[in-house]
Amino acid sequence: MDKSKLAGQKRQGEITVFWFRRDLRLEDNRGLTEALRSGIPVLPLFIFDTNITEELPALDARITFIHEHLSRLDLQLKKQNSSLWVYQGEPQKLFQHLIGEQPVSAVYTNRDYEPYARERDEQIARMLGERGISFHSIRDQVIFHESDILKTDGNPYRVFTPYKRQWMKELHPESLKSFPAPTRGFLPGSRQLPSLEKLGFQPSDLKVRPYDTSSLNAYHELRDYPAADATTHLSPHLRFGTVSIRKIVRLALEKNETFLGELIWREFFMQVLYHYPHVVNNNFDRRYNGIRWRNDEKEFERWCRGKTGYPMVDAGMRELNHSGSMHNRVRMVCASFLCKHLLIDWRWGEAYFAEKLLDFELSSNNGNWQWAAGTGCDAAPYFRVFNPEAQLDRFDKKRAYIRKWIPEWGSPDYPPPLVEHAFARKRALEVYKKGLEDQIPE
């Protein structure tokens, strides 16, 4: 018998699963493309992982955003006589159930680099392998895998600039190849997408803004001015994969080198998290373990509410609380203020941002907080303390950003500064210096 016919008979009735996660699109989806190339009908799957979602409030704008894009995916699939299969629960148990009900021959997904996701995927791959089912983890949310850009000695980079230089050297047209949206190959059938309410969530009025790349040509000139609103709003879309990183890098190469640098920072922090997972809960640079944080809860509460008496800090925190977003320059000012003016542990601020930010991504949030605190990889030196008043004068001269978020600014209702800048700077330098001298072993 012809071997190709034998192979066809062997595969008859089997299906391939593609597991959507941080890639909520059909277009230019590398893992999905690989799954469809198998020639076996593809079951499109999404799981609301309760190990993650149980830690979220019922009214979470990020879940609303995810659900909206799942609905779009489902509509696209229905045009091809298919549907998105949506489950809620622990992924490993759900896969055990799925492969007990369906003749699954392989599972494809796009790779996730966070510690929990890596452990989860390893367990699922092991479980599937024991049952003769292959598990394929494909590079999609980054241009380069965590070990594609290494130093000549084989170790990961700890400093951004040489990492960026090597990243650019390794970049080739093949790295940015796009994959068209599929028009066939999905498992036929019709299923109903569960509502947010059925999943235990409530629709949020807080919306993720559409991304806008029209301002990219002037990005390097306007990106530091929060009142200009000249950023792309791409970060949540890259976080949840509603747009391909390859598409955006191609655009950045064409439009703006400065913006391309921001995309490379994103990958730098991802590979830092991969190679140094201790950063999730600990200082990247262990020399700073001896810092004695003040951790004043009342002062932290005033920072959270935007009541510190420093307008740039307060406007940023109010923007975050109201919109789930904050301008990048202001994020640095707010983070530096918490860690160095108030001497509050960066982990407190990182957790608050993680709760509020629509674009929350563990690697970038952690990396940027540790950068601001001086404890991180290629961080700002500990003796660099942002002056919030100088930042305000430089980047919001007309006070347009301040007036937008602090209506009582300039009136008796606005509080005086929580701490005087010169005093806070001197105190921070003393505490950091002593912390370096009194290192605490892990």
Q: Is residue 93 part of a domain?
A: yes
Q: How far is it, in rounded angstroms, from Cα 207 to Cα 210? A: 9
Q: Is residue 91 part of a domain?
A: yes
Residue 430, pLDDT above cutoff 50:
yes
Q: How far is it, in rounded angstroms, from Cα 162 to Cα 375? A: 20
302 and 393 in a single domain? The answer is: yes
Predicted local confidence at residue 74, as pLDDT: 98
155 and 235 in a single domain? The answer is: yes
373 and 333 in a single domain? The answer is: yes
Q: Beta 15-20 vs 104-110: how paired, if at all?
A: parallel
Q: How far is it, in rounded angstroms, from Cα 272 to Cα 430? A: 29
From 223, 242, 275, give the residue that closes a domain.
275
pLDDT, mean of residues 64-89: 98
Predicted local confidence at residue 441, as pLDDT: 53
101 and 157 in a single domain? The answer is: no
Residue 22, pLDDT above cutoff 80:
yes
Predicted local confidence at residue 12, as pLDDT: 61
Range of the domain at 18: 13-140
pTM above 0.85, yes or no: yes
Place of tokens 């929060």: 226
Find the CATH number of the domain harbouring 303.
1.10.579.10
Q: Is residue 260 part of a domain?
A: yes
pLDDT grade for 1, boundaries at 50, 70 and 90: very low
Q: Is residue 197 part of a domain?
A: no
Residue 5, pLDDT above cutoff 70:
no
| Structural domains counted in the chain | 3
Determine what percent of the chain is predicted with pLDDT higher than 90.
Answer: 92
Q: How far is it, in rounded angstroms, from Cα 373 to Cα 381? A: 9
pLDDT, mean of residues 377-385: 83
Q: How far is it, in rounded angstroms, from Cα 245 to Cα 260? A: 11
Predicted local confidence at residue 9, as pLDDT: 33
Predicted local confidence at residue 384, as pLDDT: 86
18 and 105 in a single domain? The answer is: yes
366 and 264 in a single domain? The answer is: no
Q: Mean pLDDT, the chain, as a whole number?
A: 94
pLDDT grade for 2, boundaries at 50, 70 and 90: very low
Q: How far is it, in rounded angstroms, from Cα 204 to Cα 159? A: 39
pLDDT tens per residue across span 165-205: 999 999 999 999 999 999 999 999 999 999 999 999 999 99
Q: How far is it, in rounded angstroms, from Cα 296 to Cα 344? A: 7
CB 23 within 8 A of CB 45: no
Q: Is residue 185 part of a domain?
A: no
Is residue 359 helix, strand or coil?
coil
Predicted local confidence at residue 229, as pLDDT: 84
Predicted local confidence at residue 437, as pLDDT: 82
Determine what percent of the chain is predicted with pLDDT higher than 70.
Answer: 96
Residue 139, pLDDT above cutoff 50:
yes
Q: How far is it, in rounded angstroms, from Cα 409 to Cα 400? A: 11
CB 63 within 8 A of CB 194: no
pLDDT tens per residue across span 217-240: 999 999 999 999 888 999 999 999
Residue 6, pLDDT above cutoff 50:
no
For residue 258, give Cα distances in angstroms to 11, 217, 218: 49, 10, 10
Residue 246, pLDDT above cutoff 60:
yes
CB 83 within 8 A of CB 76: no
Find the CATH number of the domain harbouring 242.
1.25.40.80
Predicted local confidence at residue 440, as pLDDT: 56
Q: Is residue 203 part of a domain?
A: no
From 94, 122, 140, give the residue that closes a domain.
140
**Minimal CA–CA distance to 112: which of 172, 47, 165?**
47
111 and 25 in a single domain? The answer is: yes
pLDDT tens per residue across span 247-276: 999 999 999 999 999 999 999 999 999 999
Predicted local confidence at residue 102, as pLDDT: 96
357 and 329 in a single domain? The answer is: yes
Q: Is residue 442 part of a domain?
A: no
Tokens of 255: 């439009």
335 and 237 in a single domain? The answer is: no
Predicted local confidence at residue 194, as pLDDT: 97
Residue 79, pLDDT above cutoff 70:
yes
Predicted local confidence at residue 127, as pLDDT: 98
Q: How far is it, in rounded angstroms, from Cα 157 to Cα 164? A: 10
Between residues 292 and 441, which one has the greater pLDDT?
292
Find the CATH number of the domain harbouring 60.
3.40.50.620
33 and 135 in a single domain? The answer is: yes
**Minimal CA–CA distance to 49: which of 37, 32, 34, 66?**
66
Residue 383, pLDDT above cutoff 70:
yes
131 and 156 in a single domain? The answer is: no
pLDDT grade for 439, boundaries at 50, 70 and 90: low
pLDDT tens per residue across span 289-313: 999 999 999 999 999 999 999 999 9
| Amino acid, res. 431 | V
375 and 412 in a single domain? The answer is: yes
From 140, 168, 188, give the residue that closes a domain.
140
Q: Is residue 97 part of a domain?
A: yes
